[in-house]
């Protein structure tokens, strides 16, 4: 019986990697520039590890689907934190509750599988990079010693009311500035955000052990075949969709 259950589960997981699962928009809270969005699908049986992402498409739109990191999940539902720009994102932003969206995934390797578990990490995010970090903080609280989450504008506070944020338009500081004040040798760092933020971190923490960055790229297939997201690393060529999205900073010498 157990083997049957395992096989059924494996098949369900595999199905959602290669086939679209019908879902619909069931909840959304918006601020000026961001939204928390929940997509629900009874058929969505996959368990998502922090750092993994799914592809979302709107109807039969003949466009590339859009990748979103999962911020939180419950059975049959996934929550994302999305900016208000871009084709799929605009649909998520504007479509009436109940609008169908298809989902496939999850893709990528959970952060926890990529990092040593014998140390604790400061989580650093800029903008919608906050999504996988909050997911990690919830799933791997024992590996986490705090978070530095930066936003340019204060409206993000409305969506994340219980989480201290670094708001640039209020304090003049970015996440990287705050990180300098709280990081101590011995702490690892997990970072996700705009490339400009990651470059600052690379400048500040190059050579520091256990600094990891979560990379973004336009994802094509999600399953590792199209090579649209392939990058060069010190450990050889890697695909963000199947080998990432988290990489040791030391493996990304071009990130300067």
Partner 1 sequence: MADVTIQRLGRQLRSPVVLASGPSGFGLELIDGVDLRQVGALTTKTITPEPRAGNAQPRLVDCPAGALNSIGLDNPGLRAFQEQILPRLEELPTQVIVSVTGPSPEAAAGVAARLSEASSIDMIELNLSCPNVSEGLIGADADAVSAYVKAARAAFDGVLLAKLPGDAGDLLCGTEAALEAGADGVTLINSLRGMRIDWSSGRPFLKSIFGGLSGPAILPIALARVYDVRRAFPDAVIVGTGGVVELGSLVEMLMAGADLVGIGFGLMVDPQVACRLTGELRRWLDERDIQSVSEILGIAQEEVPHAL
Name the segment binding partner 1 (CB under 8 A); options: 128-136, 137-145, 202-210, 227-235. 227-235
Nearest CB to partner 1, comparing residues 76 and 224: 224
Among 90, 224, 248, 251, binds partner 1 (CB under 8 A): 224
Nearest CB to partner 1, comparing residues 107 and 212: 107
228 binds partner 1 (CB under 8 A): yes
208 binds partner 1 (CB under 8 A): no
Among 198, 200, 229, 249, binds partner 1 (CB under 8 A): 229
Q: What does the block give as tokens for 256? A: 């300067």
Among 63, 170, 182, 235, binds partner 1 (CB under 8 A): 63
Nearest CB to partner 1, comparing residues 105 and 188: 105
Distance in Å, CB of 90 to partner 1, minimum: 12
Distance in Å, CB of 218 to partner 1, minimum: 4
CA–CA distances in Å: residue 185 to residues 167, 197, 209: 25, 20, 9
Residues in 18-57 that interact with partner 1 by CB under 8 A: 18-20, 57
DSSP letter at 48? P
Helix pair 175-182, 195-205: axis angle to 10 deg: 30
Number of H helices, E strands in the chain: 7, 15
Name all contacts of 74-77 with Cβ < 8 Å and 24+ positions apart.
76/40, 76/41, 76/42, 76/43, 76/44, 76/45, 77/26, 77/38, 77/39, 77/40, 77/41, 77/44
211-214 and 246-248 strand pairing: antiparallel
Give the footprint of partner 1 on this chain (CB under 8 A): 14-15, 17-20, 57, 60, 62-65, 87, 217-221, 223-232, 237, 242
């Amino acid at each position: 019986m157990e083997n049957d259950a395992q096989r059924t589960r494996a098949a369900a997981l595999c199905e959602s990697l290669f086939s679209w699962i019908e879902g619909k928009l069931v909840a959304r809270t918006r601020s000026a520039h961001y939204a928390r969005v929940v997509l629900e699908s009874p058929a969505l049986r996959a368990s998502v590890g922090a750092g993994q992402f799914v592809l979302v498409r709107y109807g039969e739109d003949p466009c590339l689907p859009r990748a979103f990191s999962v911020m939180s999940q419950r059975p049959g539902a996934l929550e994302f934190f999305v900016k208000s720009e871009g084709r799929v994102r605009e649909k998520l932003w504007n479509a009436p509750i109940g609008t169908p969206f298809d989902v496939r995934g999850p893709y990528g390797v959970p952060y926890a599988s990529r990092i040593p578990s014998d140390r604790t990490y400061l989580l650093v995010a800029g903008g919608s990079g906050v999504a996988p970090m909050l997911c990690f903080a919830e799933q791997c609280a024992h590996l986490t010693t705090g978070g530095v989450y930066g936003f340019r504008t204060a409206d993000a506070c409305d969506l994340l009311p219980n989480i201290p944020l670094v708001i640039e338009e209020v304090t003049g500081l970015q996440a990287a500035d705050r990180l300098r004040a709280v990081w101590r040798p011995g702490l690892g760092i997990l970072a996700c955000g705009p490339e400009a933020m990651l470059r600052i971190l690379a400048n500040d923490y190059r050579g520091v052990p256990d600094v990891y960055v979560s990379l973004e790229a336009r994802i094509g297939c999600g399953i590792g075949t199209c090579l649209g997201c392939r990058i060069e690393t010190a450990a050889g060529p890697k695909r963000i969709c199947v080998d990432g999205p988290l990489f040791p900073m030391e493996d990304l010498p071009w990130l300067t």
